[in-house]
Amino acid sequence: MSTTQKKLGRKVAIITGAGRGIGRGIATAFAREGARLVLVARTAAQIEQAAHEARRAGADAMAVPADITVSGDVRRIVDLAIERYSRVDVLVNNAGILGPLGPFAGNDMEHWAETMRVNVIGLAACCSAVLPGMIRQGGGKIINLSGAGVTRPSQTLSAYGTSKAAVIRFTETLAVEVRRHNIWVNALGPGQIDTELLDPVIHAEDGAVDADFSAHVRRTKSGHGASLDNAAALAVWLASDESDGLTGRMISATQDDWRALGPRIPEIMSSDRHTLRFVT
């Protein structure tokens, strides 16, 4: 398949949290579809390996060890992308942490606040950094990873659930603000995938995690979790021209027939489908 036939042919994509797990899976999928990649994570060795794998899949990829909660790092990520590729077409905000486990009354508030700094403020900072360039070039795609806690409360995961619900409302708000610039902003719910993010749940003390959630995580860890490949394929679709016009929506890799959404985009955009307004 030639570059021009690939879904992301020569699009420049920044992917945060790309050193492992879902971010790394998305990076590999983007590489196979022709994207040029700026891969970001805090751990240098992990992000270098992710970039190496992306190059093996045929991509032009650079590794940027950085912390999205540090404003100077965020500026450096975008500056390096512009220096090398002259533009940023896609931002995938995947970096995130689980945060403190256990009932809120016993949570360490600094750890709670750190969850907000990574999952919400760091995500927003990355959006802020890429938007001026996307506005100048007349378009772009932003994909914010969301997840559990959006549609229902999750006991013993108050920080994580609150942060991911905030991501949805931020996604909807930003989408309205930048739509006139042909910048499409959506949230992606990957489903519960077996990654290292869930490891603290397995090792938590008795009572620190809601029993139902703990049982679900254990099923996931035993091979019954959601498909990483499916979540990565949804990210490719949201980054591609095929999803143009869809904005301010939360699309689930596991609950939505997302491969059939293309022809329905005008219908979706004239309704409250896939938004918090519809949920509530």
Q: Is 86 a catalytic residue?
A: no
From 146, 154, 158, 252, the catalytic residue:
146
From 164, 214, 240, 243, the catalytic residue:
164
The domains of the chain are located at 3-279
Q: Is 240 a catalytic residue?
A: no
Q: Which residue has the tokens 């006991």?
A: 155
Q: Residues 8-21: what's their mean pLDDT?
A: 97
Give the pTM. 0.93
- Looking at the domain 3-279, which fold is it? Rossmann fold (3.40.50)
Are 134 and 88 spatial neighbours (Cβ–Cβ below 8 Å)?
Answer: yes
**In the predicted structure, residue 45 carries a pLDDT above the cut 70:** yes
Residue 264 backbone zone (phi > 0: left; psi -120 to 50: alpha; other: beta): alpha
Q: Long-range contacts for 205-214 (Cβ within 8 Å, ≥24 apart)?
A: 207/102, 208/101, 208/102, 208/156, 209/101, 209/102, 209/156, 209/157, 210/154, 210/155, 210/156, 210/157, 213/148, 213/154, 213/155, 213/156, 213/157
Q: Is 160 a catalytic residue?
A: yes
Instruction: List Cβ neighbours of 130 (8 Å cut-off, separation of 6 or more).
Output: 14, 78, 88, 91, 140, 142
**In the predicted structure, residue 123 carries a pLDDT above the cut 60:** yes
For 244-265, the pLDDT digits (tens) are 999 999 999 999 999 999 999 9
From 141, 154, 160, 243, the catalytic residue:
160
Instruction: List Cβ neighbours of 123 (8 Å cut-off, separation of 6 or more).
Output: 16, 68, 93, 95, 144, 167, 170
